[in-house]
Amino acid sequence: MVCAAALTPASTLVPTASAATRTGVGSDTGAAKCATVDLVVWLDTQPQGALGTEVYSLKFTNLSARACTLAGYPRVSAIRLGGGQIGRAASRYRLPWHTVSLASGATATALLFVRDIGTFKASCRALTAAGLRVYPPGGRTSQIIPFPFAACSTPQDDVSIGPVRSA
């Protein structure tokens, strides 16, 4: 099930019942797409909690000397110590998105939603993930983020990702 999100006055992300139908809007800034090699991908490990889900900020910082753009959703999956994928890749948390232009040193953010695997009951074969494999939007190469968390080894929607946004 895909949900949209709304911000409450207290700035807590809360799932809502209706899904957003807009899959994106573009803008042409003239800058090239950000190459994975030009980015440092990192995770703010201080979550916000929302109804059995922890929400983390997945960050993309442009370390190149030139501006670049990111647009859409990163691809994210939980991984084992050896790098093998656990379960299925993160589903998309459908929200409207825009092309984000990153100057040198600037950072964009995508929200990462990690559900409490206790909500899956017996259908989840629980294990501890060693981290995340992250492909920036449109990227063909990934970066690994060490981040141990409880994951399902069976296909579940235990991890979801939102689109990149200006930080």
CA distances from 49 to 16, 18, 44, 115 (A): 15, 20, 14, 10
Q: Which residues of the chain have pLDDT under 50?
A: 1-28
Phi and psi at residue 36, to the nearest 5°: -55, -40
| Closest listed residue to residue 145, CA positions, set 4, 52, 57, 43 | 43
Between CA 35 and CA 141 the distance in angstroms is 9
CA distances from 116 to 26, 29, 99, 154 (A): 34, 39, 31, 14
| Contact predicate 20/94, CB 8 Å | yes
Q: What pLDDT does residue 134 have? A: 98
Q: What pLDDT does residue 153 have? A: 82
Between CA 1 and CA 117 the distance in angstroms is 16
Q: What pLDDT does residue 121 have? A: 64
**Per-residue pLDDT tens digits for 112-124:** 999 888 766 667 7
Q: What pLDDT does residue 154 have? A: 78
Tokens of 115: 């559900």
Q: What pLDDT does residue 73 have? A: 97
Q: What pLDDT does residue 41 have? A: 98
Q: What pLDDT does residue 152 have? A: 85
Strands (E), the chain: 4-7, 13-16, 39-50, 53-62, 68-70, 75-79, 85-86, 91-92, 100-102, 107-115, 126-135, 143-152, 159-161, 165-166
**Per-residue pLDDT tens digits for 66-96:** 999 999 999 999 999 999 999 889 999 888 9
pTM of this prediction exceeds 0.85 = no
Proportion of the chain above pLDDT 70, given as a percent: 80
Q: What pLDDT does residue 120 have? A: 66
Residue whose token pair is 């995770």: 43
Q: What pLDDT does residue 63 have? A: 97
Q: What pLDDT does residue 131 have? A: 97
Q: Mind listing the domains of the chain with CATH numbers?
A: 33-166 (2.60.40)
